[in-house]
């Protein structure tokens, strides 16, 4: 279990197990558990949750269309604030617009290799992406490694920040199981870092990246986000990171092993 997963299991208000005991049981540094960041405002949480719902329903909306939709619903927010929130949430519309998924300075950008290419077998093409997961009083981030042929979620990680480490942990978990021919992602800083690229290069994996501002290039993962959110996240109110981790863990197990998929002849991805 990764450090991020162990952190998600911490219950700060547990009556019987103090933080020090939980830290020892989970092999975590005690001091890191006592730091309390300033929580986001109720207004910011509500706005980000609504942006997430609008984007999930209409991923082809850019900043200005998302802003217009919010205005129709009575939100008083300008497009600059919406752009900032979308950047913090790690999301961007499919249409060209502001570069919300910023890449590292002078990062190596690879071409999109999948135009006109269909996944022909398991481990032919993998896709990596990150999405926003709402909590009652905040949010977390989910990264998955998806097999495009079987729609199987090979590996996933959940974290309270967009720190690079949780993406690398997910990738390492996937590469420990198999190696794809091609691995696709967007051009964000998580996927243009030398740590990420180096792992794929060492495994002799061809690297593909979406065109700038083209989330449609990673459409299979976008569809998985819709499925996870409509069938799990939006039906539950996760009060804590622990609840989110357990809920997503159960759902992803169900998605892989039991949920029939139309594109697979009503078989689950594992089959």
What digits encode the pLDDT tens for the residues 131-149?
999 999 999 999 999 999 9
**pLDDT score at 27:** 79
pTM: 0.80
- Percentage of residues in the chain having pLDDT higher than 70: 86
**pLDDT score at 101:** 47
Query: DSSP string covering the chain, please?
Result: --HHHHHHT--TT-SSS-HHHHHHHTT--HHHHH--PPPPPHHHHHHHHHHHHHHHH-TT--HHHHHHHHHHTT----HHHHHHHHHHHT---SSS-S--SPPPTT--------TT----STTSEEEEEEEEEEETTEEEEEEEEEETTT--EEEEEEESS--HHHHHHHHHHHHTT---SEEEE-SSHHHHSHHHHHHHHHTTPEEEEPPTT-GGGGHHHHHHHHHHHHHTGGG----SHHHHHHHHHHHHHHHHHT--BGGGTSB-TT-
pLDDT tens-digit series, residues 107-120: 678 999 998 899 99
| Residue 68 pLDDT > 90 | yes
| Residue 33 pLDDT > 90 | no
């Amino acid at each position: 279990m990764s450090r991020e997963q162990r952190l998600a299991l911490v219950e700060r208000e547990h009556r019987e197990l103090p933080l020090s005991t939980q830290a020892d049981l989970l092999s975590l540094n005690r001091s890191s558990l006592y730091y309390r960041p300033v929580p986001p405002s109720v207004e910011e949480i509500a706005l980000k949750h609504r942006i997430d719902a609008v984007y999930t329903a209409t991923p082809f909306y850019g900043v200005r269309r998302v802003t217009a939709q919010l205005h129709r619903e009575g939100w008083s927010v300008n497009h600059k604030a919406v752009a900032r929130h979308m950047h913090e949430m790690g999301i961007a519309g499919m249409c060209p617009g502001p570069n919300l998924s910023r890449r590292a300075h002078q990062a190596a950008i690879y071409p999109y290799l999948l135009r006109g290419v269909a996944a022909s077998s398991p481990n032919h093409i993998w896709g990596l992406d990150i999405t926003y997961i709402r909590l009652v009083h905040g949010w977390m981030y989910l990264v998955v490694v998806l097999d495009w042929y079987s729609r199987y979620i090979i590996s996933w990680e959940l974290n309270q920040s967009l720190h690079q480490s949780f993406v690398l942990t997910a990738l390492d978990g996937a590469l420990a199981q198999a190696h794809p021919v091609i691995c696709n992602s967007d051009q964000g800083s998580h996927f243009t870092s030398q740590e990420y690229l180096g792992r794929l290069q060492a495994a002799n994996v061809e690297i593909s990246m979406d065109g700038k501002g083209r989330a449609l290039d990673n459409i299979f993962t976008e569809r998985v986000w819709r499925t996870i959110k409509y069938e799990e996240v939006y039906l539950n109110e996760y009060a804590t990171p622990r609840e989110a981790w357990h809920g997503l863990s159960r759902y992803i197990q169900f998605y892989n092993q039991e949920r029939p998929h139309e594109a697979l002849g009503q078989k689950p991805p594992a089959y």
